[in-house]
Amino acid sequence: MSDPTSAPRKRDPECLFCRIVAGELPATTVHSDDELIAIRDIAPRSPTHILILPREHIVSAADLTEEDGPLLGNVFATAVALARSEGIADRGYRIVTNVGQWGGQTVDHLHFHLMGGRSFTWPPG
């Protein structure tokens, strides 16, 4: 039986992250709630590299509206809590979302990278 409270409002059956949200593909989940999940990146670029993604299929930050304010609040509160639990909060970390081809986006389902455990350069490459 599916649980209607955890069903995404919109879903793309071809989308990699929608399939992870649906449990069709495996991932290491470090947080899950009604709106979003957080998973470990399959190819981490830093000692801590977590992806925070809405359950709903939103393509990128370019598709967000003011109505998504509560979702974004949850994203950042979750990132802050995970940074503490991962032990990266004290030294600092980075929260990044890539948009489109030149932004470096490779998966077209909105996600925020929470990266830490080493220092980063600025600007990014």
Alpha carbon distance 8, 116 (integer Å) = 29
Neighbouring CB atoms inside 10 A of 28's CB total 10
* Residue, CB closest to Zn ion: 15
Residue 107 binds to Zn ion (criterion: CB under 5 A): no
Q: Is 57 a catalytic residue?
A: no
Binding mask 22-61 for Zn ion (x = CB under 5 A): -----------------------------------x----
Q: Which is it for the CA torsion 12, 14, 15, 17, positive or negative?
A: positive
| Residue whose CB is less far from ligand 5GP, 21 or 51 | 51
Q: Choose the contact partner of 50 out of Zn ion, ligand 5GP, none; CB within 5 to 8 A by kind.
A: none
Contact in structure between 48 and 41 (CB atoms under 8 Å): no
Q: Are 110 and 59 in contact (CB under 8 A)?
A: yes
* Residue closer to ligand 5GP, measured from CB, 4 or 123: 123
The reply to whether 104 sits near ligand 5GP by the rule CB under 6 A is: yes
Using the rule CB under 5 A, is 111 a contact of Zn ion? Answer: no
- Which residues have C-beta within 8 Å of that of residue 82, sequence separation ≥ 6? 30, 31, 38, 50, 52, 114
Judged by beta carbon, residue 13 or residue 123, the one nearer Zn ion is 13
User: In the bound complex, what is the minimum distance in angstroms from residue 93's beta carbon to Zn ion?
Assistant: 25
